[in-house]
Structure 1
């Protein structure tokens, strides 16, 4: 007789226990079982069994449980076993259950993305909070909660190459979530350690990698096509919003390879519905109609977006500092004005030759010569506003190109004589050092008492051009007699390891770096605020978005000192030039105005794209329009959600954290008892783990433990026989994070002592395995009613995806003579009623008692199923049926709309072979989305099988 399997069934084979997650039927009636290990040796690992080969597969039956008396003092073993089961079990709560214990200052708004994601069929979310609000912490909260729910075993994070190390360190230091960093150095290490044909994404469950590494590495693309993840995180997701780009195509593909998806960006859209729709479609393909016409209500369930002034919590506000803006005006020298008069002459000559139509379309693809001359003049002005050296390089490159091609015209950009004249003007400026902006910058540093010595302030300088960065480094080194270690360049031309190394070093107290000169490659994501509160915008980007991102590097959550932001602003009275300089300066004033009111720089021009904002500035210069930022100009672009704004509610739950059942008053009491118990049964040596004080645990890294922790970040690992330090005190861990910032190359010496730490998960598994898989512990308590037995049971119901939908610890009260004594109720109610979390006295358990209790097991299973789990199952089925109806209705509406749109799109087209194939491909794509979604919803909401019961313990009198 064949065995009936279903997802969620517990099986035993090869001496270990497994949870069936998927069944594939063979043509001959046998089955392939995808399963996840649940007993000690195989816990968390995934396997596939063939029922033809594995003939010893058995479905676990709780009636066959063996009862063994607990003889430990105070029934420590029973309490620890139950507590470990509680802590290791998945939760179905839609509230926060574990993340609040991690090493960060809890603020309810940071829980909102996770809580909102839990309201969806699949937990997927776009985190679009403003610059500096802590999106990385919000990702850590999501990951830790999903791990607690058994849905975060396999994780891949995609981040900018400059912040791979920073992100990895935050996840480990604060949440004890280990990510293997696959930067160029990490990849080289993997090649040395793993066989050539080994997929690193199969070997390492949790990784962090740059999307450009995946995009540019064909072998890695092959690896990811063969892999699947529980969660994929894409940081700075605006870089993948264009679905037709290589990055965007890869991101769209990855969205289909995971159960949960987290996207993060402070600039999640460009104001157009299409770009925002691309991101939302990655989260939920049926959220947006095929017409592309959607309202805020359609997408609001899938994202959160708040800015600093939306968070009213006083403690949160206390972690921000009020910034100071310091404009530094630099009157241009005579030789500079002579050069820029020539630039203005080219600009005005080009504009005079433009007709009205061309002027309105300065940036069209087919540019006339006058357009090219105008753009050349603007480019030259922008280069000089960065530095004379940047303008010099621009002219030299242009001359070289003309001389190599031999093609000259009368137009400015191709006029060799004109270009050489401009070059001579720049040579005079550079040779005479008549650079007014640099002199103003240098004087400000002197005014601050800065000379680049170890005790001087640490300073960040942003400049757009690489030539400007190198120019500044050269001049500062000479003028302040700087050691080469005191000044560092950061730009996109550096390798990923070099970029990460600079960011890591700059955030350390003992860093030699006094001044970091960065391009805008350093304006996104990187934390530069730890020991720095002064930032200079040496040139002013022609984009409010870029300006906001730059300023957010030091003006962010956790900054301890007043952030000073300096703007180097050139001034002149030369006609035309004066207006152009005012237009650029007005960008800085508008950014500050937005900072104090809207909070979102992108909402000013409603372009949400730095490149398009630069074009608007160029148009303002062409029109000499100083008021372009204050006028209500219609740029003929779709405003996202027309007037509603894209901000979401910052209070998803009034009480976001759920109190969980426990048999211990405090966490550290549980961990102390756990360590003592493991030592008493020789699963730990005395010297392997010891509490220094009630909150501080030291653990020796044994060879066995070192092998278990193979996937820890190398910087977090200690040598064999050295000590890991864990603490239940958040302050201790956060202080350790602060201390680690004082010394180069160091990570925090303390981590959080909580259930998600890999070492504690390992110890809890060892405790769980110390009780045989088919055994329940028995404890006799005089405080219980006489003649009663209370069987502690864990009941679990799974759906067809193998996910636990109901998970409950409950008690079945029986008369020792047989028969139900009371209706079953929760373990928490039982613990509270009989004070099982207090000290217990061990009593003698007679063999005849265990024999009598064993005879009651069939009744326990019967009453547990019928009187408790079946009721929960019926309630859940009703809830699931309602959800399925809702999901299916939404899916049908989307399908009908999609098919209607296809008919409209192709109704006026001649049905050639190509057009017909395109239509068929579109229809097939819709059918695939509908089919996959429909099946997913059915599997998600199906609860057809009986609950799985495991009897854990018996208390009786």
Structure 2
């Protein structure tokens, strides 16, 4: 006989009871053991089983062990914390290892309102775009709408994405890069693609954009795609064009869900913005931005918020971000250093004045000059490296290096460029002068020590950003001498991305009582890709970036969501004696700051860099006292005017874009109540902490409190628990944080933390299986006197199961579960939820004689069948109706057209039955 099972049904197979989950295909069963976790799920074909798969019931056994009040309360908490298929409208809530901020739920609601979610999430740096995209992904996975996905991102972000998906969302993905793809493909059958074998992938854009891979990926690509740094896919460079062609091909499939992430969607470039929008909907590329109907359509797909929007509006998100204090630190050059800089400038101006009259020849001379000047302004070590080296790359490649633009295929270049000039006595003299300065005290380095000394005394942990490798090593060595007790490391482009991550991670090691103070010296290879907020709280711009966006990126590594410090500092160093610093401040950085104050965001330099180059050259010449006539002869005088006009035009476009597309449709009051309701059902971080404290104490290994941290000495636990925890890399003394943001080296103690989940699963198993952890005495029945009630009250600990049917274009049947406590007096339910939990948690006033306990329990068991068929069944049905209304409210708030029906699976599982007796028995 063939029996059809649907999600939520109980079945007996292979000698034990299981819960049926949504089936992967007809005729196949997905089963999760009643006393196990999601990780214990099996897939089986009933026709191949030796014993038939049969319907089952979950009854309270006649020999269920008795327990005491404290253990009964612990079991109730464990039951709630083990469930991962929540019945509420936010299906993903039970899977998250963090508490999302209210504002981070807005993109999720926007995605839920769209039949095929396509979003451009353009929030500021550090607000949490990765979290927002992950929430959408996790929710759609838990709703059964997404079975496979790919995250496409620049290569330096691949590992960061893998870590975020695993740590925050419990998703194990694999990296697909030039270094991993061949190994992954080696063991696959010929007919199987890498993306068939590995449904969850994080893919390097630069690996997959190549023409030979692009077409194959477009065919095999999953129907849910996240694109990080999406603005880097719509430029005029060849690499960006390849990326755009790839994304355009993916976007042609109207059923493919896509979430594009960028902090700079517009940047004043209307054409690039239109191309980006075309990936969401082709018609968006050619419509009028001033058309109200167009903006209304686009607003359903586009969310863009500045940090100030979130801390000054209705969101109440002040503590989501630290306060940011920005200062400038001016220092004086010594006579020798000032003379050297001026000598290099004079030499460079001579090169420029002798350049040919052709536009290209003169521009190449300018680029070579500016490249050398950047090194001279950085440090004598960088200047010496540049003066000694001959040009190793094409002169045309100098421009992106000068303006701190990363190439499409590499991390930020921090090697000093070689000089493009022929060796002559004047150049050789400059080399000797630079060599002489290497052995002399460096006024810039001394100024850095002066700036850091008072901050180090306050306990800060700075990141010092340098432009060139030689400078970074020079600064690291100098700081080690100045602060010998601190941990000081340098991370530069000579390290591989893995080595950079490891070096930063190694700095987190600290003694629990006295954390080690640290300074990181880094080049711009770290300005994107590795989040530093857990270890550092201050950014020093040792070298001024010639790209204002780079300053924002540097600070964004530290000043971002999850920064535990309440104050983040940034310090910009410059010398008023330096014509180089003066020109950069005047031509680029001061104007960028004006634009930032006007628009609320940093607008990149105009793409055409010719006027910028002219303006910088003119400013340096005039600061050095070069004849104004030369600047006029070289037609440099117009550069500043042209650049400023184009930059202000870009800023105005950006300002208009912000005003047009500000996300005001979603209000926090529409989101927060539903999320709060889910938290109440699942257990908050505070409740997870209380459970872990009780459980560890019950296992004989109480948590140790260390200031703001908790230490869980898991090596002292039972051998079986130790093995389980070791699978999650939890050994020794585990450091736990009890509030966000979690300090470095700790993890927030939530319901999904492996320690919480493992303890909860172990306790539930101990109650259901007498042979599991038998020494704990976690029984399923009990009776005790308590001050919580005025008459005899039975409390039933129930596991409720519901079948959720989503009525959309493709109807889906899902399984949902909840833990519930109901309090029964006489023949009716008098309390449930928090009230019943409070009664169960009230300590017993005394012990009850075993014979009396057994009599109360026997009577409760005798009445249980009638209760299950009467008031408890009515309670479960009413809960199903309430859930249906919750789903309807959320879908109405998000504007979704789909509908959810909820059907109760009866009878519910009775996990525990406890009798509370008023006062003394």
TM-score where L is the length of structure 1: 0.64
**Cα separation, 2, equivalents of 1:560 and 1:444:** 26
In structure 1, C-alpha distance between the alignment counterparts of 2:303 and 2:370, rounded to whole Å: 36
- For residues 98 and 493 of structure 2, what CA distance do their matches in structure 1 show? 32
Among 749, 767, 770, the residue aligned to 2:766: 770
Matched, 1:340 2:344: no
2:714 is aligned, of 676, 699, 715, to 699
Compared CA separation, residues 562 and 857, structure 1 to 2 (3 A)? closer
Aligned mate of 1:325, from 325, 328, 335:
328
Aligned to 2:373: 385
Superposition map of 1:660-809 within 5 A: 660-661=680-681, 666-675=687-696, 689-692=701-704, 697-700=712-715, 704-705=720-721, 708-709=724-725, 712=728, 717-718=730-731, 722-726=732-736, 729-730=738-739, 734=742, 737-738=743-744, 747-748=745-746, 751-772=747-768, 783=789, 792=798, 794-799=800-805, 804=814
Q: What aligned pairs does 1:385-784 form with structure 2 within 5 A after superposition?
A: 385-387=373-375, 389=383, 392=387, 396-397=391-392, 421=422, 425-433=426-434, 442-449=442-449, 462=465, 468-470=468-470, 473=473, 490-492=491-493, 494-504=495-505, 516-519=521-524, 522-523=527-528, 525-527=530-532, 530=535, 533=538, 535-538=540-543, 540-541=545-546, 543-553=547-557, 557=563, 558=565, 560=567, 562-567=569-574, 582=583, 585-596=586-597, 598-602=599-603, 612=607, 614=609, 617-618=612-613, 624-627=638-641, 631=645, 634=649, 642=657, 644-648=659-663, 652-653=668-669, 657-658=676-677, 660-661=680-681, 666-675=687-696, 689-692=701-704, 697-700=712-715, 704-705=720-721, 708-709=724-725, 712=728, 717-718=730-731, 722-726=732-736, 729-730=738-739, 734=742, 737-738=743-744, 747-748=745-746, 751-772=747-768, 783=789
CA distance in 2, matches of 1:476, 1:787: 69
Structure 2 Cα separation of the partners of residues 478 and 789 of structure 1: 68
Distance 1:67 1:186, change over 3 A: farther
Which one of 853, 858, 865 corresponds to residue 854 of structure 1?
A: 865
Please report how far the alpha carbon of residue 296 of structure 1 lies from its aligned counterpart in structure 2 after TM superposition.
4.4
Provide Cα deviations, 1:924-950, integer angstroms capped at 9, x if missing partner.
xxxxxxxxxxxxx6xxx4648664652
Distance 1:642 1:255 in 2: 26
Alpha carbons 1:491, 1:522 under 8 Å: kept: no
**Matched ranges for 1:120-199 at <5 A:** 128-133=122-127
Once the two structures are superposed, residues 714-766 of structure 1 have per-residue CA deviations (whole angstroms, 9 ceiling, x without a partner) of xx643xxx343546x439x94xx35xxxxxxxx44xx4443211132122222
Superposed displacement of residue 495, structure 1: 1.5
Write the distance in 2 (CA, Å) between the matches of 1:944 and 1:103: 28
1:795–1:807 contact (8 Å) kept in structure 2: yes
Note closer, same or farther for the CA distance 1:88–1:631 as it changes in structure 2 (3 Å cut): same
> Could you tell me how far apart the structure 2 residues matched to 1:287 and 1:883 are?
27
Contact 1:810-1:826 at 8 Å conserved across structures = no
Residues 535 and 167 (structure 1), Cα distance of their counterparts in 2 relative to 1, 3 Å cut? farther
CA distance change for structure 1 residues 752 and 804 in 2, over 3 Å: closer, same or farther?
same
Aligned residues: 803
What residue number does 2:402 align with? none
SS of alignment partner, residue 131 of structure 1: coil
Q: Distance in 2 between matches of 1:723 and 1:6?
A: 43
1:93-143 CA-partner distances (Å, limit 9, x unpaired): 467997999789x96556655666666678887654323446567678889
Counterparts of residues 31-46 of structure 1 (less than 5 Å) = 31-33=27-29, 35=30, 37-41=32-36, 43-46=38-41
Q: Which residue of 2 aligns with 1:361?
A: none
Secondary structure in 2 aligned to 1:730? coil
Say if 1:435 and 1:260 are closer, same or farther in 2 by CA, change over 3 A: farther
Aligned match for 1:868, one of 864, 878, 881: 878
Is the 8 Å Cα contact of residues 129 and 304 (structure 1) preserved in structure 2? Answer: yes
Q: Which runs of 5+ in 2 are unaligned?
A: 377-382, 397-418, 617-635, 771-777, 917-921
| Deviation per residue, 1:540-566 (Å, 9 max, x gap) | 42x322232234456665375643211
User: Structure 1: any 5+ residue segments left out of the alignment?
Assistant: 26-30, 351-369, 402-417, 573-577, 680-685, 739-746, 889-936
Root mean square deviation of aligned Cα: 6.3
**Alpha-carbon contact 1:520-1:550 (below 8 Å) kept:** no
The residue aligned with 1:415 is none
TM-score, reference length from structure 2? 0.67
Distance 1:554 1:869, change over 3 A: closer
Q: C-alpha offsets along residues 5-54 of structure 1, whole Å, 9 cap, x if unaligned?
A: 445555443334143323534xxxxx234x25253456335543334324
1:267 and 2:278 equivalent? Answer: no
Relative to structure 1, the CA distance from residue 292 to residue 434 in structure 2 (aligned partners, 3 Å threshold; closer, same or farther) is: farther
Aligned to 1:926: none
| 1:213-224 aligned within 5 A | none
